[in-house]
Structure 1
């Protein structure tokens, strides 16, 4: 058994391993670029774009969580392309690919700094490059903002810290702390990196006495934990759900991801899949993991520490934030989300190197076995990645936005467009008001029309978007209706107002209202539904007026009616806007 330690890197040897690593980065980008370019905005991405258009770049925008994640750095990076051209996926895809290239080069640098320019570093590096655990975040803009830069920060922080431990130069210590802080601005999981660095120093390095540096590291950890609890709180699931989540995340998703899995994906949405490894692959993954751990622990004295360090980081940075957050509401299925594990990929490469790259070379047979194993991982990773990118379907969302943009381009600002939810292929129902057309499609409209979409006025013939993105005349899906029982059928003016009782109380929210009326001459009036008052104008003769009102209660009131206008309301419907059937 040989002692595994991080010796000063020998950088005077052949540059060939580094050059091969750079070529592999180019191959990775060329391999993943088509899938990234075929992807498109989804769910949280639209929230990011809406917020960037509705808010100035300030504290409120930066420090409001996005999708439950506090990521001021990600929101800052996302603000500029959203403002420049809201739905230009090509720009976003290029940004993600550039950051991915920087991440891969940073991991290569980390391995070179720690282990030197030796061909053996290419093994852990290839595992990092091909793992499907990092693929879904590369096709999802908002997820990549809180996953890609943290990977870069982890790799750079580890390399800088190791250089400081070796040389004692202050510049490396400053760089290490700076990278940890920068990464924590994108994802609070990076706050676990100082713990990783402490274990790394304690086991593999000489652990310099530097109270200021370790105090700064501790401060970053403390602030990040407090910020996480302050913004998202603590929502622990019941123990059974927590255990099932951990098994799903680590026992299935992470374990199969280490060997190139998951192999299969479940697409609950056409543009996003979660890991669904076959039971046989889970068993095979654990057999491979146990063999690798047993062989390395037997051959390398500190290999066990490397594997425990990896497990601890996955638990602290990947599992714990979700376990204290969304698992209680979403359930164990969250363990199939590879996004939770994407940030651990550089640490996988680091710990694999620590467990296998000792001062003495391996015998010929284990080396051949490692080459065969890596080839198998690459083959399975190619299969898994192809299964993911080949099943992404984004054309419906692209077509909807393109059609809506064309409709808005030829629509004058005088047309009243009422709010309806965008189709599910863009956003699910739990996004609330963020999924309304006035907010999602607002960035595609001119300033005047955008303002009209956000505050539509009462109108006789408003329009709404249908599921294909076309503007259509509006009708209502009725929640409650009322009609007079008198003859003639008319709610008449009494004491200067018309009160219309409803069949049941309406809970407070925004409603769309349609009422039929007759008037002997043009008139003005005010509509209220137990809440805000909405001014309306009525034309002479008979007609229908649509309006949107916030309120609720048991009755509708129309008041302030122009005297002598002979207004008679013959019916009222309250509900939600919808396209009129053709």
Structure 2
């Protein structure tokens, strides 16, 4: 085959593209720039409609508790993720504006802009500067497949760097294979290394880049594409391999390897859920309808007829392009394989008896598919047509592209309508106001409401951790002389101890239990208590200021400051048993302890 006659190859040849297409560059790039601006406006509306959600609160909580250069922050195993740079960005954003949503939203938009420009660069290298470039670019910019991962800040901290790096390294691979300049190998390796520190899924990048560079050679009709790409891109492939080895050592040291949690029988449900109900509708502008049960994130819930229509459209596009373009069947084979391989790790790692299959329909794990299918579209358009049909193709492409954008906008609207309700927004707004009038008496630890951060996240869902960025030192303690609680709406109100058990009256009249010296004393309760978090109300009379060590019969001890005179102090304990264990540690102290409740702190609704 005479490769010089292939139009796409001519369009992307370096010197001719730069020298001969300058006059035609401005209109295409101007339209591309306008599309990117429209996408940013749309995504700005999406970001502005959202708020901190689930893992976001874990990230900002850790940012509020640890310094930037801390292993507890950067090397934290976050549910199997190794993402020190994501934690670093969360730290910087939190320090700039603690629990102010506008700053994460701006960071998401900045990341989205970088990703869109990286994709534009990649498509320009695959197709040259011609109107056909706008087809895969429009798909990437408006496809709902990237929407859920963008809307959730903690997911965006993973997904946006992955998308940027995937498009960038593909572009570097194309340039390296084409011209052999070392700088593209260096650039690709550096971007890969940075992406790996945001998200472990970035390990796919060099393999996808190699496949795309090879397919670009193949659809151009060149012989020995695999060998040629391997030889010309050797610096990038070797450098990427070394980076992956170093990263793997760090990942295993921090996260390690756990056994799979899935049931093999569940795979029969999980993979069809992701493909038919999530990915395929999203590729044609769906899913049009989203379902949500608070506090879960939205998941795709397309109508059955729409799923069937999406499959028919996808099959028709694949069949039509194979019929009308030469050498594109391996491109679609790569796409199908990528979709399958992309789902398997999610099903294996996230699966388990307590995980619903709908997690696969949330699409947040599959944002990189937007870049991959933009590449697929570009490779199909790069391939030479079997016969000249530019005018008819254009008449078909423009209406279909318009229909795709309208469909995607409908899906975006329904997603935002489902995503925007947020009990967290009300809770944090009220807590901020309440803490601004905090009078200095510490609050006992408690969990945030379940619809703000689920108990499955324990202990990350404790108030002292979630509210660390906005809580002054001493706001939370293990004991307090004034028992108050934070309500589910974020107000700080008076509280009391529910009488699950009680301290039995002591043997000494007028004193109860006399505690002196440093020998531990067991204070009996009127029944056993299970291993749990309990609040103890200690009513005491002390002859001087002192410190008392208190614990359940089986549990962690807590040091409690005491004041001289007759007082009450409330202590949060974790443990079990039928007794309390008290130790003064001061031989001069004489303390009388009366009866009181031991149970769960509560407030009147």
Q: Same fold (TM over 0.5)?
A: yes
Query: Alpha-carbon deviation of 1:212?
Result: 4.0
Partner-residue secondary structure (3-state), 2:444: coil
Partner of 2:278, secondary structure, is helix
CA, structure 1 residues 98+482, in 2 after alignment: closer, same or farther (shift >3 Å)?
same
Q: Pick one of 358, 373, 379 that aligns with 1:348.
A: 373
Cα distance in 2 for partners of 1:55, 1:106 equals: 33
Segments of 5+ residues of structure 1 without an aligned counterpart are none
CA offset digits 1:281-304 (Å, max 9, x no partner)? 111111111111111122223312
* 2:121 alignment partner in structure 1: 109
Instruction: Select which of 151, 160, 169 maps to 2:163.
Output: 151
Is 1:180 paired with 2:192? yes
Contact (CA 8 Å) 1:500, 1:557: kept in 2 or not?
yes
Structure 1 distance, partners of 2:516, 2:423, is: 54
Match of 2:406 among 369, 376, 379: 379
Of 4, 24, 33, the match for 1:22: 33
Partner of 1:501: 524
Number of the residue aligned with 1:527 = 550
CA distance in 2, matches of 1:34, 1:259: 22
Out of 466, 484, 496, the position equivalent to 1:440 is 466
Quote how far apart the aligned CAs of 1:48 are: 0.6
Q: Indicate the residue corresponding to 1:299 in structure 2.
A: 324
1:235 Cα deviation from its structure 2 partner: 1.3
Say whether 1:419 aligns with 2:419: no
Q: Distance in 1 between matches of 2:571 and 2:174?
A: 65
Local SS of the residue matching 1:391: helix
Q: Structure 1's 492 and 425: CA in aligned 2 closer, same or farther, altered over 3 A? A: closer
Q: 2:487 aligns with which of 453, 459, 466?
A: 466
Query: CA offset at residue 216 of structure 1?
Result: 2.3
1:255 aligns with 2:280: yes
Shift of 1:348: 0.9
Deviations 1:435-476 (A, max 9, x none): 222222232133xxx3x23434342x2222112222112223
Q: Secondary structure of 2:82's partner?
A: coil
> Against the structure 1 CA distance between its residues 65 and 277, is the aligned structure 2 distance closer, same or farther, given a 3 Å change threshold?
farther
**Structure 1 residues 311 and 199, CA gap change in structure 2 (3 angstroms):** same
Decide which of 230, 251, 258 is 1:233's aligned counterpart.
Answer: 258
| SS state at 2:379 partner | helix
Q: CA deviation at 1:171?
A: 1.1
The CA deviation string for residues 379-410 of structure 1, in whole angstroms up to 9 with x for no partner, is 21111100011233356422322222222222
Q: 8 Å contact 1:503–1:554 — kept in the other structure?
A: yes
Specify the SS of the correspondent of 1:351. helix
What is residue 428 of structure 1 aligned with on the other side? 454
Correspondence for 1:515 among 531, 538, 550: 538
Give the whole-Å Cα distance in 1 for the aligned partners of 2:390 and 2:205. Answer: 34
How far the C-alpha of 1:506 sits from its partner, in A, is 4.1
TM-aligned CA distance change 1:288 to 1:554, over 3 Å: same
Deviation at 1:239, TM superposition (A): 1.8
Match of 2:270 in 1: 245
Q: Paired residue for 2:112?
A: 100
CA separation in 1, counterparts of 2:376 and 2:510? 80
Q: Distance in 2 between matches of 1:220 and 1:245?
A: 32
Cα-to-partner distance string for 1:239-284 (whole Å, 9 max, x where unaligned)? 2212321111123211111001111111222683111122211111
* Structure 2 Cα separation of the partners of residues 80 and 173 of structure 1: 30
Residue 239 (structure 2) pairs with residue 216 (structure 1): yes
State the distance in 2 between where 1:485 and 1:565 align: 15
1: CA distance between counterparts of 2:270 and 2:249? 24
CA RMSD of aligned residues (A): 3.0
How many positions carry a matched residue from both structures?
A: 571
Contact 1:261 1:277 in 2 (8 A): yes
| Structure 2 residue 324 is matched with structure 1 residue 312 | no
CA distance in 2, matches of 1:175, 1:91: 29
Which residue pairs with 2:152 in the alignment? 140
Q: CA deviation at 1:310?
A: 2.0
| Helix, strand or coil at the partner of 1:552 | strand
Whether the aligned pair in 2 keeps the contact of 1:439 and 1:454 (CA below 8 Å) is: no
1:266-345 pair list within 5 angstroms: 266-269=291-294, 272-316=297-341, 318-328=342-352, 329-345=354-370
1:199 aligns with 2:211: yes
1:60 to 1:397, Cα distance in 2 relative to 1, 3 A? closer
Work out whether 1:545 is the aligned partner of 2:569.
Answer: yes
- Displacement, 1:537? 2.5
Query: C-alpha separation between the residues in 1 aligned to 2:40 and 2:411?
Result: 16
Q: Distance in 2 between matches of 1:267 and 1:521?
A: 58
Q: Normalised by the size of structure 2, how large is the TM-score?
A: 0.86
Distance in structure 2 (CA, Å) of the matches to 1:478 and 1:224: 53
Deviation string 1:127-158 (CA, Å, 9 cap, x unpaired) is 11111121222221111100111111111111
- Seen in structure 2, the aligned counterparts of structure 1 residues 559 and 137 have a Cα distance that, compared at 3 Å, is same
User: What are the residue-to-residue correspondences of 1:53-132 with 2, within 5 Å?
Assistant: 53-58=64-69, 59-132=71-144
Q: Are 2:173 and 2:210, in contact at CA under 8 Å, matched by a contact in 1? A: no
C-alpha separation between the residues in 2 aligned to 1:2 and 1:515?
Answer: 91
Report whether the alignment pairs 1:47 with 2:58.
Answer: yes
Distance 1:343 1:202, change over 3 A: closer
Bigger Cα displacement from structure 2, 557-566 vs 72-81 = 557-566
Q: Secondary structure at the match of 1:272?
A: coil
Aligned twin of 1:408 = 435
